[in-house]
Amino acid sequence: MNSQSIYRVGVVLYALVIGFFGVNHFLNGTGFQNTVPSFIPGGIFWVYLSGVALIAAAISFLTGRQTRAAGLFLAAFLVIVVLTVHLPALMRSTGNPIISIALTNLIKDTGLAGAALMIAGKGN
C-alpha cells in the first residue's frame, strides 16, 4: 500500500471516530450539558452545535471537500475544549481514578487536535 492509500485509510478511520463523537453529542446531550463551562450561557445549545460541527468535519474528511478548513476549525474547537473543559476538570479533580479520567480526556482531545492539524496540512 502506498503512502497516499495509508493516509486515506487513516483519514477515514479518524472521520468515523469524529463522526461518532458528534452523534454522541445528540444521544447524550443532557449529560454533556454539565461539561459546558458555567461562564458560557446556553448550555445544551453548545452541546448540539458542537455535535453538528463534529459531524460536519467527519463528512468533510470522508468526502475530501474543504478538509483544510474543517481540520483547522476542528483543531481549534478541540483545543478550546481542552482549555475550558478538560483542564479545569483536571484541576478540580481529586484521587487517582478521577485524575486518570480527566487527564485521559485532556490527552485524547489534544491528540485528536493534532491529527486534525495533520489532515488540515495536507487538505485542499
pTM score: 0.89
Domain tally, the chain: 1
The domain of 117 spans 3-122
Cell of 98: 478521577
Q: Which three cell numbers stand for residue 105?
A: 480526556
What is the chain's pLDDT, residue by residue, as a tens digit (124 residues)? 899 999 999 999 999 999 999 999 999 888 888 888 888 888 899 999 999 999 999 999 999 999 999 999 999 999 999 999 899 988 888 777 666 788 999 999 999 999 999 999 997 6
Q: Tell me the backbone φ, ψ of residue 69, rounded to 5 degrees.
A: -65, -45
